[in-house]
Amino acid sequence: MGTPVTRQIARYLPGSREIPRRLQSCAAELTRERWDMTLIPVSSSAISAVGHDGYTLTIEFNSGRSYDHPGVPYEVYAGLMAASSKGAYYNRYIRGRYR
């Protein structure tokens, strides 16, 4: 079982069904870091807030759903924040490219 992060880590441990305690600790720390990210409210008909911690981009939509996109470079985040249509920028440059 475990958290979503520990389940993802388990996928990368071939032949292991149990996640070592050290990895569980790391996963717990990663989970806490995600919640410490500051989301910045934006003016958009689709997106309500955006956060970037230097590696992961978090998008919160007006529907209330939020998505994390790991591996997003700062330049892409800056482009989103500067875009006149944040939803169009998200669909063109982020959605489906970063998982």
In 1-99, beta strands by DSSP E: 40-41, 47-52, 56-61, 66-70
Domain ranges for the chain: 1-36, 37-99
Strands across the sheet containing 40-41: 40-41, 47-52, 56-61, 66-70
Element (H, E) at 33: helix 21-36
Q: How confident is the model at residue 32, as a pLDDT?
A: 43
Residue/partner pairs of 26-34 with CB below 8 Å, 24 or more apart? 27/2, 27/3, 28/3, 30/5, 31/3, 31/5, 34/58, 34/68
Q: What angle do CA 31, 32, 33 make, to 5 degrees?
A: 90
Helix (H) or strand (E) holding 90: none
Q: Digits of tens for pLDDT over the chain (99 positions)? A: 455 555 555 555 555 555 555 555 555 455 444 556 889 999 999 999 999 999 999 999 999 999 999 999 999 999 999 999 999 999 999 999 997
pLDDT at 57: 96
